[in-house]
Amino acid sequence: MTKMTKKAAFAIAQEALSTIETAEATEAWNVIQKEIERLERAALKAKTGERKLTKTQKENLVVKTEITGIIANHEGGMQAKEIAAELGLSVQKISALCKQLVEEGIVAKTEGAKHVTLFTLATEEEEVEG
């Protein structure tokens, strides 16, 4: 047996309420209908990816812009710890944001001397490959 969804449970409750002819039953039916509509809107937003950015996501956009600016001003690439030191942020946060920038095709990840990971601005060729 599959798990019942909220929408299916609400539909059953609405069907039962539709047989009762009182003001309270009608009001309950309307409340359930609004909840079904809210669930449908949420499902649509999830499918289309239409969501508002959180406060942290907005802050990260600013930091990602700062990261690309710092990388652009350094030839030969930079380590995450160097970027973190310039911005006063943790290496872990910078590494995570650099990974996102690599996935977006904005930054390229390369291996420097002694197997050190360096981040540089992506060239057009690297953006196409990514």
CATH 1.10.10.10 at 55-129, yes or no: yes
CB atoms within 10 A of CB 22: 9
Residue 62 burial by Cβ neighbours in a 10 Å radius (0-12, 13-18, 19+)? exposed
pTM comes to: 0.59
Contact 81, 91 (CB under 8 A): yes
Rounded CA-CA distance 32/38 in Å is: 10
Report pLDDT for 129: 45
Rounded CA-CA distance 60/86 in Å is: 16
Which residue type, as a one-letter code, is found at position 10? F
Report pLDDT for 41: 85
Q: What is the pLDDT along the chain (130 residues), one digit of tens a residue?
A: 788 888 888 889 989 988 999 999 999 999 999 999 988 888 887 777 767 788 999 999 999 999 999 999 988 889 999 999 999 999 999 999 999 999 999 999 998 888 899 999 988 554 444 4
Report pLDDT for 124: 59
Contact 108, 114 (CB under 8 A): no
Give the CA distances from residue 84 to residues 66, 79, 90, 91, 98, in Å, rounded to whole numbers and listed in that order.
11, 9, 6, 5, 11
Give the DSSP letter string of 50-70.
--PPPHHHHHHHHHHHHHHHH
Domain with CATH 1.10.10.10 in the chain: 55-129
